[in-house]
Amino acid sequence: MKPTNYPSVLACTAGLLLSACSAQSVYEGSHQYRADQCAKLPEPEYGQCLAEARKPYGEHRKEYDDQVEDK
């Protein structure tokens, strides 16, 4: 059986792959902005905020996925 919507399937697959890359790029690109925002906080919150702002995307994504699964 020959797929009739091959271009559509290809386009959807490419879109999904690109959206995953975009989410990671945006997350990583916002590190400096988040760190700058942390600088406005008093010392106890500053350290926690900075640690969160510098968290690698993979760790952030795993925590997010774990929270979504718990709901």
Assigned domain for 3 exists:
no
Assigned domain for 69 exists:
yes
Assigned domain for 38 exists:
yes
Residue 1's SS3 state is coil
The predicted model gives 6-10 an average pLDDT of: 55
pLDDT classification of 12: cutoffs 50, 70, 90: low
Assigned domain for 63 exists:
yes
Assigned domain for 1 exists:
no
Assigned domain for 49 exists:
yes
Domain that includes residue 66, residue range: 31-71
Amino acid identity of residue 51, one-letter, is: A
Residue that has been written with the tokens 């905020």 in this structure: 49
Query: How many domains is the chain built from?
Result: 1
**What is the pTM (predicted TM-score) of this model?**
0.55
Assigned domain for 37 exists:
yes
Assigned domain for 8 exists:
no
Tens-digit pLDDT profile for residues 20-67: 568 888 888 898 999 999 999 999 899 999 999 999 999 999 999 999
Q: DSSP string covering 2-54, please?
A: --S-HHHHHHHHHHHHHHHHHHHHHHHHTHHHHHHHHTTS-HHHHHHHHHHHT
